[in-house]
Amino acid sequence: QVQLQESGPGLVKPSETLSLTCTVSGDSISNSNYYWGWIRQSPGKGLEWIGSMFYSGSTYYNPSLKSRVTISVDMSKNQFSLKLSSVTAGDTAVYYCAGNFWSAYSNNWFDPWGQGTMVTVSS
Amino acid sequence: SYVLTQPPSVSVAPGQAATITCGGNNIGSKSVHWYQQKPGQAPVLVVYDDSDRPAGIPERLSGSNSGNTATLTISRVEAGDEADYYCQVWDSSRDHVVFGGGTKLTVL
């Protein structure tokens, strides 16, 4: 079964770039049914989709974050990564990576999810 | 942008049925997916494509979708069902994922 694990710094300074990596095990990141996505959850708040990427390079980003987000895939390591630039305290959240399964007519959902990693933006 | 509206909270006694709604403009024309998130844990997909369940999800959880409202129904509610529940769709007009604000289910 597919498992995902996030890794990266738990503390990032304001104005710097947040960088996280998600390692996929149990399946190839080049699985044609999956995009690979990032979702975050600010403390006490709901889920916010950040973006999703297909292994070939096709990407979709949340319009509200698009100018600051880059998602990339490293097939050699079976990993995908998130970079969020110019962070502020408002970017403090638990960041989840997830398999973004696509079926017909662009219908897609998230399964499975990583356990999540808390990132705090503070000086 | 497309908005999904969920009630902030729903309370139900054990053994009763809980209904969690997800409202959106003509949501019946979209496929709706539901996630369960227990405290301190990652979300788990419990219903996809309006009414299908992933392997391992009990039949007590069921979904429906019509008109402007999608519904997650949990029959014979147990203490272990206490969690936050989120609905999700794909907004094809803007090519992005939309989550509802979440509903906290409390088992009395």
Q: Which stretches does DSSP call E strand in chain A? A: 3-7, 11-12, 18-25, 34-41, 47-53, 59-61, 69-74, 79-84, 93-102, 108-113, 117-121
List, for residues A11-23, the tens digit of each pLDDT value.
999 999 999 999 9
* Cβ-defined contact of A106 to B98 (cutoff 8 Å): no
Q: How far apart are the first and last CA of chain A?
A: 39
Mean pLDDT, residues A98-108 taken together: 88
Residue numbers in A near B63 (CB within 8 A): none
What is the C-alpha to C-alpha distance for residues A39 and A112, in angstroms, rounded to an integer?
12
Amino acid identity of residue B90, one-letter, is W
Mean pLDDT, residues A5-15 taken together: 97
**Chain A interface includes B85 (CB < 8 A):** no
Instruction: Report the half-sphere exposure of B100 (CA within 13 A, side-chain side).
Output: 31
**Chain A interface includes B52 (CB < 8 A):** no
Q: Which residues of chain B are under the pLDDT cut of 50?
A: none
What is the C-alpha to C-alpha distance for residues B36 and B44, in angstroms, rounded to an integer?
5
The single-letter DSSP state of residue A65 is: T
pLDDT > 90? residue A106: no
What is the C-alpha to C-alpha distance for residues A33 and B108, in angstroms, rounded to an integer?
41
Residue numbers in A near B96 (CB within 8 A): 49, 60-63
pLDDT, residue A33, reads 87
Residue numbers in A near B92 (CB within 8 A): 106
What is the C-alpha to C-alpha distance for residues A66 and A50, in angstroms, rounded to an integer?
8
A113 vs B43, B88, B97: nearest CB:
B43
pLDDT, residue B57, reads 97
**Chain B interface includes A117 (CB < 8 A):** no
Q: Considering chain A, what percentage of its residues have pLDDT values greater than 70?
A: 100
CA distance A58 to chain B (A): 12
Chain centre distance of CA B64 = 10
Computed over every residue of chain A, the mean pLDDT equals 95
* Cβ-defined contact of A113 to B99 (cutoff 8 Å): no
**Chain A interface includes B3 (CB < 8 A):** no
pLDDT, residue A107, reads 86
Return the residue in A33, A69, A107 with the most chain B beta carbons within 10 A, the one to mutate for interface testing: A107
CA distance A60 to chain B (A): 7
Amino acid identity of residue A22, one-letter, is C
pLDDT > 90? residue A76: yes
